[in-house]
Structures are given as structure tokens and as C-alpha cells.
Amino acid sequence: MPIPLINYVLSEGISGIPYFWTIIKTVPWLVALYLLKWYCGGAVNTSERNMHSKVVLMTGGTSGIGASVARELATRGAQIVLLTQHPLTDPFLVEYIMDLRTTTNNELITAEEVDLTSLHSVRKFATKWVDNAPPRRLDMVILCANTQTPAWGKRGVTEDGIELDWGLNYVANFHLLSILSPALRAQPPDRDVRILFGTCSSYIGGSFPEKTSKKERKAKSAPQPPTPTYKNLRPARTTSPYANSKLALMTFAQSFQKHLSSYVRPDKQPNNARILLVNPGWTRTPGMQRFLTFGSLWGLLLYIILYPLWWLLLKSADQGAQSFLYAAMEAGFVLGEGGAMVKECSEVKIVRDEVSNDYVQQELWKDTETIIQQLEKEGAVRRAKEAKLAESEKKEKEKGSEKADESGSTETANAKKAGSRRSRKAGS
């Protein structure tokens, strides 16, 4: 076949080849698209680590990047504990875990019900994990749970009244790790413990909430969701709650590393836990789809029409997971030292100086703790009232059923008396 074709080209010339010039014009564009897709796909993790027997606690492990990370780590033999808001009997969750066990050939995949939008739910799980003797093994915590309110979307609130992006992306992680801190510090000194925070480049445009007094908050017409109350060190550059939450999360991560490193172990061994910030890049996750569609049907239609563009420019979930896998398995990180930021499977510099500022970290930690304590007290009072109300309603129902039974028994007795022999004689 090639010889006659070559002979034909030599005899007739290049112009004799059908669609030759069309192919010549098209190929460069195809090559350019391929190179653009390859570039936007990002770096690939080449680090390897034996994950057998490693216990990994994960949030956001049922969709998007988290699902890809969970699958890859489970394939390498890690024991995965998924923290999910779904009830453990939910058919979707059961099928998801069974499918994950089958595809990864790993039976050590379980789940715990934790609603990250509820401070009480987070405390209930974390307390149960910590209250164990001897301390449970914990090699890694991966925080992939994330939400991003569209630019013109309605801002939701958590169960405790916190703005949703701020509450789930930052406050929930702060609350979870603060309680799990003893379990992390109790791990043997030769164990490589890592805590991975999922972040985003939007933190560069984030700002810290400014300090407001109670009088100022009461003076506002609409009730404001509680947020950390400390003075901003630089002018606010954005109103995006998502960017603000990522900036606060990164600041807390740096502070939490100092908290772990300052702990003096009973065996006098050095700290063995490290914090790593992971920026997976722009990825086609459910959260990104919600953001690009503006949370509307018209936006969804536009997203579908432009899907070839998103497919070309945005990473897939597997590609976005590569930086997480690099942070989880790379051996080059120094034991006991953390706070590094990983992007495209390499360390990058943190742009905002406030993230490493001691004063900002201390104020953020202190005010967040204060607000969480206040909200938990309010939540405890609310749950007590709801339980009391439910108990009173239950008693009223029981009284109502007892009265119905008594009236029914009285009617039966009267019917029996009416049908007795004496009543029949009196009637005759």
C-alpha cells in the first residue's frame, strides 16, 4: 500500500493527494489544541509510598477531587474513613462504598456520619474518635469538603447560622481539627502524620472580617451571620465569602502547625505531624459546575453549550487529585515541619504575608474559638428546648390515646350492659 501511494505522489505531485492542503491546515490546530489540553491538565504525581495499614480520615470523599483521592489511596491499600453527611443507611452511600471496595480490591473502606454544617455533629464525631484508649491510629487527615456560592447566588447559612462558605470551608475544619488535636499528637514518634488542607488561588483576593461590636451588630436592620471578629490588617479587596474562607483556612493551617509543633511529648521525641496546603487548580468538580452555572437553569444551559471549552481548559477530577496524592506520598517533606503549599506537584510560595503573621493567627484562633463556644451553647439550649417540646407532644399523644382507649372501653361496657338478661327483661 505505501509503495503505490509513494509512486502516485512522485508521478502526480503533492497536489494529487485528496484533501492534502486541508489536512496541512488542520493538523497545526489539532496539535495546538492537544498541547493546550496537556498544559491545562497539570502535572502528574510520580511519588510512591506504601499506604498499606495507613488510616486516612477524609472529608468530601464521595464526589469530585475527594472521590479520586480516596480511590487512588484505597488502591494503594490505605484504610479510608469517609466523613459524610449522608446517613450510613443511605442507599447511595452504601452502593458507593461497596463499589469502591470492589474496584480497589480493598475492604478497609468505611464511613462515619458527620454533618460539617453542624458544630454539634462535628463535636460528636471528633469526641467519639478521641475518647478511645489506647488512642486510635491516625496517619492522615485530608480535608476535601468544599462549597462555593455562585457570584450572584443566594448565600446560605449553616445550622448554627454561619454563612455557608465560611462555615463549611473554614469553621468546620477548625472545629474538627481542634478536637482531634490530642489524637494527632498521641501518634508514635516514628509515624508520618500528615494533615492536608484543600485550598484555592482565590485566597489571594480574600480579606479578613473586620471587628464589630455588639452595639453595631444590633444596630443593623438584618441579622448578620456570626463571623470571626478581629481587625483587618489591610483593606478588604473582595466580598467573596469563598476567598475569605480560604484565606482564613490557610492562616489557621499555619497556626495549627505551630500548635502541634509546640507540644512537648511525654517521650521527649520531636513532633511527627506536618500540615500541607494543596491547591489542585481549576477542576470540573460539582462545586465548580455550580459556580459556573450561577446556580440557575439558564446558567446550566450555557454551561452545557460551552462544555467543550470547560473540558479543554479545566482539569478532570483525576487530574485535580494529583497534587493531593503528591502531598500524601512525597517523601521530601521534612518530618515535623509543615505549612508548605503544594501546587502542580511542587512546592510554591504563599503570596499573602498575613497567612504567616503571628498576630493574625492568634487573633483568628481566639475569636473563632469564642464564636464556636457561643454557638455551641446556643445550639445546646435550642436542642434542649426541641427535646422538651417533643417530649411534651409525645405525652399529649399518649394521653389522647389513653382517653380514646378509656372512651372505647366505656362504650363497650355500656353495650354489654344494654344487651344483658336484666335489661331485656325490663324491656319486656
Q: DSSP string spanning 111-168?
A: EEE--TT-HHHHHHHHHHHHS-SSPPP--EEEE-------TTSPP-B-TTS-BHHHII
- Catalytic-labelled residue, pool 154, 220, 246, 397: 246
Q: How many CB atoms lie within 10 A of CB 240?
A: 18
Question: Using alpha carbons only, how large is the chain's radius of gyration in Å?
Answer: 30
What distance in Å separates the CA atoms of residue 387 and residue 43, rounded to the nearest whole number? Answer: 53
User: How many residues make up the chain in this entry?
Assistant: 428
Q: Any idea what the Cα angle at residue 232 is, between residues 231 and 237, rounded to 5°?
A: 150
Nearest to 289 by CA among 274, 265, 277, 306: 306
Distances (CA, A) of 383 to 252, 375, 388: 29, 12, 8
Task: Please give the grid coordinates belonging to residue 309.
Answer: 471549552
Q: Any idea what the Cα angle at residue 398 is, between residues 392 and 400, rounded to 5°?
A: 105
Q: Is 246 a catalytic residue?
A: yes
The catalytic site residues sit at 246
